[in-house]
Structure 1
Amino acid sequence: MMKKDTATSKSDTGHNQNSRPLILRIGKKLRKKANLLASSQSLIPTTPLHQSDIFPWTSQLGEQWQGIAAEAAGILQNRSAVPPLKDISPDHARIAGDGNWKSFFLVGYGYRVEENCARAPKTAALIDQIPDLNSAFFSILEPGAVIPKHRGVTRGLVTCHLGLDIPVPKENCWMQVDDQRVHWKNGEWLVFDDSYSHEVKNETGQTRVILLIQVKRPMRLLGKVTLDLALWGIRRSPFVQDARQNLDKWEEAFRLAEDNRAA
Structure 2
Amino acid sequence: MGEGIATREQGVVDGRFYLHLGDALQRVGQNEKALEVYKEGVKEGLFASVYQRSLYSVDGLKAQPWWSPDETPYASSIKELEKHWLDIKNEALSLMTDKGFKPEAENLKDSGDWKQFEIFARGRKIERNCRLAPKTCALIGKIPDAAGCKRGQAKFSLMHPGTHVWAHVGPTNCRLRLHLGLVVPPKVRIRVANETRQWKEGKVLMFDDSFEHEVWHEGDSLRLVLIVDFWHPDLSASQKASLSPI
Relative to the length of structure 1, the TM-score reads: 0.67
CA distance in structure 2 between the partners assigned to 1:121 and 1:159 by the alignment = 21
Structure 1 residues 220 and 159 mapped into 2: Cα distance closer, same or farther (>3 Å)? closer
Q: Residue deviations 1:42-68, cap 9 Å, x none?
A: 3xx421101123322101111000000
Unaligned runs of 5+ residues in structure 1 are 1-22, 87-91, 235-263
1:131 maps onto 2:144 in alignment: yes
- Answer 1 or 2: higher relative contact order, Cα 8 Å, separation at least 6: 1
In the alignment, residue 182 of structure 2 is paired with which amino acid? Answer: L
- Tell me the CA shift for residue 215 of structure 1: 1.2
Relative to the length of structure 2, the TM-score reads: 0.71
RMSD of aligned Cα (Å)? 2.9
Q: Match for residue 74 of structure 1?
A: 94
Matches within 5 A, 1:84-163: 84-86=103-105, 92-93=106-107, 95-96=108-109, 98=111, 100-133=113-146, 134=149, 135-163=153-181
Is residue 31–residue 153 contact of structure 1 (8 Å, CA) maintained in 2?
no
In the alignment, residue 196 of structure 2 is paired with which amino acid? Answer: R
Choose which of 58, 61, 71 in structure 2 pairs with 1:38.
58
SS at match of 1:72: helix
Matches within 5 A, 1:107-256: 107-133=120-146, 134=149, 135-167=153-185, 169=186, 172-221=187-236, 225-226=238-239, 228-232=241-245, 234=246
- Tell me the CA shift for residue 83 of structure 1: 1.3
SS at match of 1:231: coil
Q: Match for residue 10 of structure 2?
A: none
Q: Match for residue 63 of structure 1?
A: 83
CA distance in structure 2 between the partners assigned to 1:24 and 1:184 by the alignment = 32
Is residue 84–residue 99 contact of structure 1 (8 Å, CA) maintained in 2?
no
Unaligned runs of 5+ residues in structure 2 are 1-13, 20-40, 49-53
Q: Aligned residues, how many?
A: 196
Q: Considering fraction of residues, name the structure with more helix.
A: 1
